[in-house]
Structure 1
């Protein structure tokens, strides 16, 4: 489905990451974790897939993106309230739907977008499942939604930060998400949990390999690969 939406506002999440909110057309529905193709410019000639970062119960559409200085990012930066963009979709099957047991999310950088959509959705549903997020970022100042995640009204939720460069502003592991970190944080959940991995292709492959080392079956892994930072 192709439709036109209007820009409402941008929200800075970190120095390099921003959320963009748009009007939600009547009858437009999506599932937490899905994405759309967003077309910018004349007849939507600049295109890029963007995951929803808000929940499907909310009355707007939100996409969160790392600003790279590309033509696409620059166009987003230049939007004024009321400007129109074209969205095609929604698409994708990355979700928490149908998971009866504990959930472990492994996210890196902007891969948090669809995970955040699912978490907002889960909170609105008063989800009672245990959900653990292992969240990797560059450093303490580059953690989108950091404060919000700590305050999320989900009784079974917790977030574990993993930072490549540790500035001492938050409690975190230093380095990358790996089998050692996963085993340390989930000593009893490994054989029962379903794992959701979201991030660049290299990160997703690495997480799949690390989970294989821990004996996690591929049938208990769901992935979303972010193919670029246009």
Structure 2
């Protein structure tokens, strides 16, 4: 489905990551974890898939993007309130809605966007499932939604727990240092690794590495769902 929406506002998440909010047309529905193709410029000639980062119950549409200096990044950064944008979708089946057992999310960088959508949705439903998020980023200053994730953990989702993994720690937050690997997963996940369902979201290289690490832990591929972020245009 193709629809025209209007830009509302930009929400800085880190120095390099912004969320963009748009009007939500009447009757437009999506599932937490899905994405849309966002067309910018004349007749939507600049296009890029972007995951929703807000919950389906909210009265706006939000996508989150890392700024790369590309033509697409420059255009979306230059939007003014009221500017029209074309969205095609929603698309995708990356979801935790149908999972009844323990859930483990492995996210890298901007791959947090669809996970955040699912967590906001879960909080609105007073979800009591056990959800573990292991979230990898470069350093303390480059963690989108860091404060919100802590608030969800403490106030809104009793079964939710987040572990941050940083390539370089500046000492501003409690985190493991290095990369997400089988050792981190084994130490931070309290659920039975063979019974839990894993959701992996991030760049293709990161997703592939996580699949390899889970294989080392004996996790069946049938218990793994992935969302690969193809290119940061």
Shorter-chain TM-score bucket reads: over 0.9
> RMSD value over aligned CA atoms?
0.6
The aligned counterpart of 1:191 is 194
- TM-score, scaled relative to structure 2: 0.98
Flag structure 2 segments of 5+ consecutive residues without an equivalent.
none
1:147 aligns to what SS in structure 2?
A: helix
Match of 2:203 among 200, 204, 207: 200
The aligned counterpart of 2:113 is 113
Match of 1:179 among 179, 182, 190: 182
The aligned counterpart of 2:97 is 97
Report Cα offsets for 1:27-57 as digits up to 9, x if no partner. Answer: 0000000000000000000000000000000
1:70 equivalent to 2:70? Answer yes
Distance of 2:190 and 2:79 partners within structure 1: 47
Distance of 2:44 and 2:179 partners within structure 1: 37
Correspondences of 1:1-230 after superposition (within 5 Å): 1-152=1-152, 153-230=156-233
Distance of 1:36 and 1:227 partners within structure 2: 14
Distance of 2:27 and 2:69 partners within structure 1: 34
Distance of 1:60 and 1:34 partners within structure 2: 15
1:133 aligns to what SS in structure 2?
A: strand
Report Cα offsets for 1:142-176 as digits up to 9, x if no partner. Answer: 00000000001101001000000111111111111
1:99 aligns to what SS in structure 2?
A: coil
Distance of 1:148 and 1:97 partners within structure 2: 21
Distance of 1:187 and 1:72 partners within structure 2: 41
Q: Is the 8 A contact 2:107 2:135 kept in 1?
A: yes
Flag structure 1 segments of 5+ consecutive residues without an equivalent.
none
Distance of 1:185 and 1:4 partners within structure 2: 43
Moved over 2 A (4+): none
Distance of 1:147 and 1:97 partners within structure 2: 24
Distance 1:43 1:96, change over 3 A: same
Give the number of aligned pairs: 230
Distance 1:188 1:154, change over 3 A: closer
Distance 1:150 1:165, change over 3 A: same
